[in-house]
């Protein structure tokens, strides 16, 4: 069983692999090499149950992931407190288009809607879903202050940003965020300073695009999944790697590789 890892000083402990759930709720405007059908309720329930059985307790979702939050709320196996649910604010996706709102009212409305859809009275982690202009969002919009206030009132346990820039991620840490979602893999290392800062400051990093959004042909190794997970998990700052698969076989294989890498 994979040993859980702390998220800064929040009291939250997460598995070194998390299940990304965009594919549970959205198949438009995504950057995967092949198209896919949304899974049935039975397939979603079985995938979540398998993830839990394999030792995964972290779910990565967002309002911009279409039906993902609603399906998790409806189909989540086991009890709520056994899971760590991370969602986002700032981006909505409808009619094939993303719309961004980082206002106080928009942030509160988004969090309240996520609580309702996920059928929970608290969210473990809420990240700002950046449009790419991280620094402006953090310094000039109301979203971060609003999330920190909601954290103080117990609605949210940890606050952070799904960032697009090193500068934005480091600023988020400086402004009180405990967690950042950053991209990192063997063919994209630009955001390594974020992982190094996390290790130095006792912060957390959720790693996205670990497999280059499914473009494994970019990796040189015979086993690109093993190459990617070994490379990422060698970094002390990499708290958890997000996996976006719908395939139970792939999920089992990824967990087996991560367990071998970690000596679990």
pLDDT tens for 13-71 read 999 999 999 999 999 888 777 888 999 999 999 999 999 999 999 999 999 999 999 99
Q: Which residue has the tokens 């594919």?
A: 23
- Per residue in 68-87, pLDDT (tens digit) is 999 999 999 999 999 999 99
Q: What is the pLDDT of residue 221?
A: 74
Average pLDDT over every residue of 93-108: 94
Query: CA dist 243 to 57, 95, 213, Å?
Result: 12, 26, 10
The tens digit of pLDDT for each residue in 110-124 reads 999 999 999 999 999
> Hey, what CATH class is 5-262 in?
alpha beta
Looking at residue 264, its pLDDT comes to 63
pLDDT of residue 218: 85
What's the whole-number average pLDDT of the chain?
95
Tell me the per-residue pLDDT of 183-223, one tens digit each, with 9 for 90 and over.
Answer: 999 999 999 999 999 999 999 999 999 998 877 888 877 88
For the four alpha carbons of 228, 229, 230 and 232, in that order, the dihedral sign comes to: positive
The size of the chain, in residues, is 264
- How high is the pLDDT of residue 2? 87
Q: Is 70 exceeded by the pLDDT of residue 165?
A: yes
Which segments within the chain are labelled E, that is strand? 5-6, 13-14, 17-20, 58-60, 84-89, 91-94, 97-100, 123-129, 156-162, 179-183, 204-208, 240-243
Q: Would you list the domain boundaries of the chain?
A: 5-262
Q: Which residues of 239-248 are buried (b: 16+ CB within 10 A; e: fewer)?
A: bbbbbbbbee
pLDDT greater than 80 at residue 135 = yes
pLDDT at residue 217, as a whole number: 82
Cα separation, 101 vs 192, whole angstroms: 28
The alpha carbons of the chain give a radius of gyration, in whole angstroms, of 17
Residue 149 in this model has a pLDDT that exceeds 80: yes
Q: State the average pLDDT over residues 4-8.
A: 97
Predicted local confidence at residue 33, as pLDDT: 77
Q: Return the bridge partners of 123, or none.
A: 156
CA distances from 1 to 24, 201, 247 (A): 25, 27, 20
């Amino acid at each position: 069983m994979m040993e859980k890892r702390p998220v800064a000083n929040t009291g939250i402990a997460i598995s070194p692999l998390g299940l990304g759930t965009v594919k549970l709720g959205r198949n438009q405007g995504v950057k995967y090499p092949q198209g896919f059908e949304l899974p049935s309720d039975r397939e979603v329930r079985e995938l979540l149950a398998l993830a839990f059985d394999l030792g995964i307790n972290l779910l990565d979702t967002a309002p911009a992931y279409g039906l993902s939050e609603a399906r998790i709320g409806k189909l989540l196996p086991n009890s709520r407190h056994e899971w760590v649910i991370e969602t986002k604010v700032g981006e909505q996706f409808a009619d094939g288009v993303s719309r961004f709102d980082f206002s106080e009212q928009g942030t509160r409305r988004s969090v309240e809607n996520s609580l309702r859809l996920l059928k929970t009275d608290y969210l473990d982690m809420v990240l700002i879903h950046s449009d790419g202009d991280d620094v402006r969002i953090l310094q000039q919009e109301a979203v971060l202050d609003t999330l920190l206030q909601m954290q103080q009132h117990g609605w949210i346990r940890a606050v952070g940003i799904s960032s697009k820039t090193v500068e934005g991620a480091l600023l988020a840490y400086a402004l009180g965020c405990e967690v950042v979602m950053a991209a990192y893999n063997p063919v994209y290392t630009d955001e390594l300073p974020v992982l190094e800062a996390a290790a130095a400051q006792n912060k957390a990093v959720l790693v996205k695009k670990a497999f280059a959004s499914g473009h494994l042909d970019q990796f040189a190794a015979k086993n690109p999944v093993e190459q990617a997970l070994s490379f990422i998990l060698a970094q002390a700052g990499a708290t958890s790697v997000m996996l976006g698969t719908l395939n139970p076989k792939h999920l089992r294989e990824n967990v087996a590789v991560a367990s071998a890498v970690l000596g679990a």
